[in-house]
Structure 1
Amino acid sequence: MIQVIHRALDLMELIAMDPQKPKPLGELADSLGLNHGTCANILKTLVTRGYIEQLGAKKGYILGSKSYVLTGNDAYHKDLMEASQQAMDELTRLTNENCLLAILKDSQRLIVYRTFAEQDLQVRTSEEKPAYESASGRMLLAMLPAETIERFILKFGLPTDNAWPEVHSKEELFAALSLIQREEFALQTISNRHIVGIAVPIRRKGIVAASLSIYLPEYRYMATDKTQLVNNLRKAAQAINTNLN
């Protein structure tokens, strides 16, 4: 029994070494010197419990949402995740794109839960990313009170040219955030990576608690029905709001 626990923890630690890169069963088993059948059974249990996620048949394994809840040590994150799972699964089914739910932690956008599409070419983003550098982070910043944004700037500075190319001053930052706040919508294009991100707010008892976003390759964004994409995103956000309130 103790040995099985050690093996399960070894698997989680191995996957966590590069959490954005799905690892196939064979690679995991061989790296730890495990029988493939034994490894598959342990992974199946971890997937069932939500600590590991399998990205479709033969696509490999990544950390599951419960692993991140553990590290956050915050029941609030768990509530957000549970309120969002069904709506986000449906959003990914409708759009066939990756979606993520995020909160603001210091200067970082932190993912609480994510869903994956069945596309051959997918956009992957790190669990933590500077808020200025993501649509979800910008949305979360924009919905803060002005005095809180002032403190954020004082503590973390203005965005660099690489982080937010359209913003070069405090005045431009406030103008950009004000527009996002009014429209309750953030659009980010990462030109050098040909990626587009869109985000909307999630509210809990009237207060913005998280952001819901979709990230996709630029060529698919240009070819898709953008109005329908945004409508699907807003509809999912409203479903999550209802679950939280």
Structure 2
Amino acid sequence: MIQVINRALDLLELIANDPEQPKSLGELADGLGLNHGTCANILKTLVARGYVEQVAAKKGYILGAKAYTLTGNEAYQKDLLEAAREPMEVLTQAVNENCLLAVLKDNQRVVIHRTFAEQDLQVRTADLKPVYDSASGRLLLAMLSPEKLQRFISKYGLPSGDSWPEIQSETQLINALALMCRDELALQTIPNRHVIGLAVPIYKNGIVVSSLSIYLPEYRYMAMDKQGLVQDLRKCAKSINNKLI
């Protein structure tokens, strides 16, 4: 076996174990028992080839674009990611909250890019999540055509359990989604976690291709300029839209 290839694959697997959490050089090297210099050189190559992404100086490493394309993940769209990367960084710096870009795949909301704030207390959300369980998923569902929405409901049913307790019937679901579609905004409160999620659509050639979201602790949301937060979110989405034209 070729040792350096094994080490590179070990690094990719370790990063992919928890893709929403950037891992530092020290964490990766120590986790695999590697010399820090050796680990840094391998990571440098993986970053240069696009299989790993360095979030920012000292923030750590996450999976890069090439790692997703190898899986055949249809949710991953290179042009969308390239258009969103810089505006999302600007948004995160402006509001100092974690942001994510997500797409709809079957009955899952799939995160394809994240930016991380400097807050000590940050809201984390899984890469894969049932559509009804997140603001980003609900927004993507709301922006479907009536025909596609009806097919989704027929195939996957209504929210169950605690995923969306306010919705008890198909009529309630359709009405709630219609309001989100009209406003181009989804607002979700997760009482048991005291978390707020907001999402707006991203368009390409007049078609919604993803959602842009901010998730933050409820106490910070209640203390901030809520209208200003939504405006910042919409401004970022517009910047991404303009790059996709």
Query: Same fold, TM exceeding 0.5?
Result: yes
Alignment match, 1:211: 211
| Counterpart contact for 1:161–1:167, Cα < 8 Å | no
Alignment match, 1:8: 8
Secondary structure of 1:31's partner?
helix
**Gaps in structure 2 of 5+ consecutive residues:** none
1:81-132 CA-partner distances (Å, limit 9, x unpaired): 0111111111111111111111100000111211111111111111111111
| Counterpart contact for 1:186–1:198, Cα < 8 Å | yes
Alignment pair present for 1:231 and 2:241: no
Alignment match, 2:20: 20
Q: Cα 1:78–1:56, aligned 2, differ >3 Å: closer, same or farther?
A: closer
Alignment match, 1:177: 177
Alignment match, 1:122: 122
Q: Cα 1:75–1:136, aligned 2, differ >3 Å: closer, same or farther?
A: closer
| Counterpart contact for 1:101–1:111, Cα < 8 Å | yes
Mean Cα displacement is larger for which, 203-212 or 42-51?
42-51
Alignment match, 2:104: 104
1:57-206 aligned at under 5 Å gives the runs 58-74=58-74, 77-206=77-206
Q: Which whole-Å CA distance do the structure 2 matches of 1:65 and 1:190 have between them?
A: 31
Secondary structure of 1:213's partner?
strand
Q: Cα 1:147–1:182, aligned 2, differ >3 Å: closer, same or farther?
A: same
1:158-203 CA-partner distances (Å, limit 9, x unpaired): 0014111211111100010000011110000111011111000111
| Counterpart contact for 2:200–2:233, Cα < 8 Å | yes
Alignment match, 2:30: 30
> Between the two proteins, what is the percent identity of the paired residues?
67
State the TM-score, normalizing by the size of structure 1.
Answer: 0.92
| Letter of the 1:37 counterpart | G
Secondary structure of 1:126's partner?
coil
Number of residue pairs the alignment of both structures matches: 245
| Letter of the 2:41 counterpart | N
Q: What is the alpha-carbon root mean square deviation over aligned residues?
A: 2.1
| Counterpart contact for 1:65–1:113, Cα < 8 Å | no
Q: Cα 1:112–1:11, aligned 2, differ >3 Å: closer, same or farther?
A: same
Tell me the CA shift for residue 134 of structure 1. 0.6
| Counterpart contact for 1:25–1:39, Cα < 8 Å | yes
| Counterpart contact for 1:69–1:112, Cα < 8 Å | no
1:38-60 CA-partner distances (Å, limit 9, x unpaired): 11222233344443344555554
Q: Cα 1:160–1:76, aligned 2, differ >3 Å: closer, same or farther?
A: closer
| Counterpart contact for 2:102–2:212, Cα < 8 Å | yes
1:132-159 CA-partner distances (Å, limit 9, x unpaired): 1111110110011112111111111100
| Counterpart contact for 1:161–1:168, Cα < 8 Å | no
| Counterpart contact for 1:97–1:215, Cα < 8 Å | yes
Q: Which whole-Å CA distance do the structure 2 matches of 1:72 and 1:167 have between them?
A: 34
